[in-house]
Amino acid sequence: MTVQNKKMNLILTATLGLVASSLVRADSSNVLSSPQKPAVAWSSGVLRIDGADHVGSGNLLPGSRLDTLRSAGQLYFADGSRVRLAAATRMSVQAGGMRLEQGAARIDAVASANRPVSISAGLLEVRATGGLVQRLRSNEVVVTASQSPSEVRKRNGVLVAMVRPGETLAFSLAPSAETRMVGTVSVTKGKFFLTDGTTNVVTELQANCLEPYVGKQIQVKGDLTNSGEDRRVLAVKEIGVPPGSGVENVKKEGAGCPAVVAVVLGGAASGAAAAGTAGAGTTAAGTAAAGAAGSAIGTSTAVIAGVTVAGVAATAATIAFVVESDNSISAK
């Protein structure tokens, strides 16, 4: 790209930034796009909107489909939110959010901290005020949070995970709808809870014979019976304890007591989840980082209502998102 073209791109970006600012003042609702105030897409290259190619920019009405093709792009929403898209990203815009079909989207600005952007990807919905969402394969989503936590739910409302600032979690479909977590058991007002270190969500445990495990790290398996706005309830079917830990010696048996088995707590992330961190864009650098990213996956995993959640080592996130150019985006 020549110096003259770079200067022209900066001028166009600044102009669209002023347009976005005016939209913030004009529209204080949660609508991201409408016939009266469509979203605006911009790129230094060619954009494909509903099958038609546009050079530079174009409007996105609710239901419109966008392909960024060979260059990264920017989305300016009606409420003032701004999202950067990697090259080769395909998505669609709705009145209340966007659907990511493939590629990567980074939330650069929101109208307010109380109005996160909603990005749906497959069976998952991510609500965040910043950070990066990647969908490099149809059944895998990788979420990196920035300044504030990113909330990940299934589209039916089940709370899957809260991604903490600076953390990256990989999500993929599990073979069954069962839930499996590892964490420390606590008790409050007669109710038992498990703090899952992978998904960062406290889950209420429902079963008899849980007293011996208070303060212990265990694995639980079962079915989610309720998942409200900020809580999960698990009907525990099985408890896994480390061999030789002494916990298995205090287990109880009786009506309503889960089965107890010996397990090695933790486990390597699946190859699919590891591959999900291949890169933030479709650049050669992102693809080359796939092997290193896979080897940097942490051992922290959980399965929540049929969704496998794998903790990704910080080094993997750094490797995958380090390059930023016209064709890729980084996790800021």
pLDDT in tens, 275-315: 333 333 333 333 333 333 333 334 479 999 999 999 987 43
Q: Is the dihedral of CA 119, 121, 125, 126 positive or negative?
A: negative
318-331, pLDDT tens digit by residue?
A: 334 333 445 656 66
CA gap 308, 154 in Å, rounded: 12
SS3 of residue 203 by DSSP? strand
What are the residue ranges of helices labelled H in 31-84? none
| Per-residue pLDDT at 19 | 46
pLDDT more than 70, % of the chain: 70
The answer, yes or no, to whether residue 26 has pLDDT greater than 90, is no
Q: How confident is the model at residue 300, as a pLDDT?
A: 75
Cα separations (Å) of 314 from 104, 157, 243, 318? 18, 28, 30, 6
- With a cut of 60, say whether residue 213 has pLDDT above it: yes
Q: Whole-model pTM?
A: 0.78
Confidence check: pLDDT of 72 > 80? yes
- pLDDT of residue 128 exceeding 90, the answer is yes
Torsion over CA: 186, 148, 317, 43 (sign): positive
User: Of 329, 326, 327, which Cα lies nearest the Cα of 10?
Assistant: 326
Structure tokens at 166: 């600076």
Query: DSSP secondary structure string, 2-31?
Result: -HHHHHHHHHHHHHHHHHHHHHHHH--SS-
How much is the pLDDT for 282?
Answer: 37
Cα–Cα distance measured from residue 243 to residue 23, given in angstroms and rounded to the nearest whole number: 60
- Rounded to an integer, what distance in angstroms lies between the CA atom of residue 205 and that of residue 13? 51
Q: What span, in angstroms and rounded, lies between the C-alpha atoms of 317 and 107?
A: 16
Residue 27 CA to residue 327 CA, distance in Å, equals 31
Question: pLDDT tens digit string along 144-160?
Answer: 999 899 999 998 889 99
Answer for the pair 308, 82: CB distance below 8 angstroms, yes or no. no
d(CA 139, CA 162): 19
